[in-house]
Amino acid sequence: MSLNTDHTETVLDGEPLVYVRQITVDDVRDEITQSEINAQLDALGDHAALYAVHNEDGERVAIFSDRDLAFAVSRQNGAHPVSVH
C-alpha cells in the first residue's frame, strides 16, 4: 500500500508531513463504493475506529484500520506522520 504524497509540501527533516487522525467507519461510508470494502466496513460496525492519513491541504490520502500501520506505511513512503485530533 502506498500514500499519495505528491501534493505534500511541508517538510520536517527533509520528509513531507502527513497528519494521522482517528475517524469512524460512519465518517467514510458514503465515500467508499467498492462492495468488497463496504462488506469489510459492515463487519467493523459504524462506530469502529479507523485512521485517516491527510496531506498538508487536508486531503485524505489513505485510511487504515490500525494507527500503528498508518504511521508505519507513512514512514515507508518517505513521509513524517504526526498525530492530530
What residue ranges do the domains of the chain occupy?
11-83
- Which secondary structure element, helix H or strand E, spans residue 74, and what is its range? helix 67-76
Separation of alpha carbons 33 and 56, rounded Å? 25
DSSP letter for each residue of 2-54: ----TT---EETTEEEEEEEEEEHHHHGGG---HHHHHHHHHH-TT-EEEEEE
Segment 2-48, tens digit of pLDDT: 455 454 455 556 678 999 999 998 888 777 776 767 777 777 777 78
Strand partners, 19: 54, 82
Segment 56-79, tens digit of pLDDT: 899 999 999 899 999 999 999 999
The pTM of the whole model exceeds 0.85: no
